[in-house]
Amino acid sequence: MASYTQITPEEAEEILSLYGKNSVNQLTPLSLGISNSNYRVDLKSETVLLKISNDKNQLQLADEQQILFYLHQRGYPFSLKPISLMNGSLVYTYGKYFGVLYPFVPGIPPGPSDFTCREVGAALARLHSLSHDPVEMQKLRPHEAVGYGPKEIRDYVFSSACPEDYREAFNFFFPDKLEQFLSVNFEKGIIHGDLYYDNTLFDNNQLSTVLDFEQAGIGEYILDLGISLSGTCLEKGRIISPLVKSYLAGYESIRPLSAEEKKHLDDSIILGLMSISLWRIKRFKERNLNPMMENSYRDLIVRARDYHLMRQMEK
């Protein structure tokens, strides 16, 4: 995205003063993210990433920072640790603006490749393999608070708001209305919810950072895997089996899949596409966040149909 919210170096200086930081040398808009305006801020002795929220409310933003802070405590190496304000809060408020601050991490988004897929797969598996504190986990939001799981997708299909082409696609892919999938008690934990390859940074040809935990929460690992596979294992916009195999090789080098997860892997990829498609419907069609993307959800339905056809031919 281009920056939705334009701020001056003076305004950035005032925001950073809430963190006890000053002396802005340079303010550079960054074209990263859909829900935020992002700025690289070069200070006298450090560089930080200043984010201004354009979509989430303050509670959603605070919940996201709570997850990131928890992941830092649990030793996940790829997430950013939010910087605290002088009052200890993780979310700043400045006039009509609110947002967060992170250390600036060097790196560039990768292109899709076997190497990228293995690296992203391994990074997601490490997230899914964390040892959790049951008490602290109860304080974290469910994924459904910000994203769409299988039950939410099915409920939406039965609602009057659902576009007919989305409903038709769901009924085509899941003639049993997801009864089999929903009957399985899949393993749960913290999921990213949107780990496409372009939500990562690579530095010196190694994955250094996983970005954009905006849809993170407690959810089923199989859904998270399906979402990530559906947006990472791409060649010319289509999911291809060789890249899926590379991704799974990276993932299973850290966390082997269960028999039930393997059985429902294809379904999880289709659900991943339906989940992000519904996310686009809610923001771009119903809320009109970006009129140019009103029908972009259809691109993911087409990708799902292409994947379904490819798998039918391979079988």
Domain shared by 189 and 237, yes or no? yes
> Domain range spanning residue 26?
9-103
Mean pLDDT score, 172-196:
97
Query: Distance (Å, rounded) from C-alpha 218 to C-alpha 189?
Result: 5
Domain shared by 96 and 126, yes or no? no
Query: Distance (Å, rounded) from C-alpha 25 to C-alpha 41?
Result: 8
Pairing type for strands 97-103 and 188-191 reads: unpaired
Tell me how far CA of residue 165 lies from CA of 157, 179, 210, in angstroms: 10, 21, 33
Domain shared by 134 and 222, yes or no? yes
Domain shared by 159 and 212, yes or no? yes
Task: Categorize the per-residue pLDDT at 3 as very low, low, confident or very high, splitting at 50, 70 and 90.
Answer: very low
CATH number at residue 148: 3.90.1200.10
Domain shared by 70 and 134, yes or no? no
Domain shared by 82 and 139, yes or no? no
Domain shared by 66 and 120, yes or no? no
- Provide the percentage of residues in the chain whose pLDDT is more than 90: 85
Query: How many structural domains is the chain composed of?
Result: 2
Q: Which 3 state secondary structure label does DSSP give 301?
A: helix
Domain shared by 140 and 34, yes or no? no
Among 46, 73, 103, where does a domain finish? 103
Among 70, 103, 136, where does a domain finish? 103
- Mean pLDDT, all residues of the chain: 94
Q: In one letter, which amino acid is 273?
A: L
Mean pLDDT score, 19-46:
86
Residue 33 has pLDDT above 70, yes or no: no
Pairing type for strands 188-191 and 92-94 reads: unpaired
Residue 108 has pLDDT above 60, yes or no: yes
Higher-confidence residue of 54 and 101: namely 101
Q: Identify the pLDDT of residue 127.
A: 98
**Spatial CA neighbour of 202 closest among 306, 89, 117, 75:** 117
Count of positions (residues) in the chain = 315
Query: How many CA atoms does the CB half-sphere of 144 hold within 13 Å?
Result: 10
Residue 32 has pLDDT above 70, yes or no: no
Query: Distance (Å, rounded) from C-alpha 66 to C-alpha 260?
Result: 31
Q: Identify the pLDDT of residue 35.
A: 66
Task: Categorize the per-residue pLDDT at 292 as very low, low, confident or very high, splitting at 50, 70 and 90.
Answer: confident
Domain shared by 158 and 260, yes or no? yes
Q: Which 3 state secondary structure label does DSSP give 91?
A: coil
1 located within any domain = no
Task: Categorize the per-residue pLDDT at 205 as very low, low, confident or very high, splitting at 50, 70 and 90.
Answer: confident
What residues have CB less than 8 Å from 315, skipping those under 6 apart?
none
73 located within any domain = yes
Query: Distance (Å, rounded) from C-alpha 135 to C-alpha 117?
Result: 33
Among 103, 134, 169, where does a domain finish? 103
Query: Distance (Å, rounded) from C-alpha 106 to C-alpha 47?
Result: 10
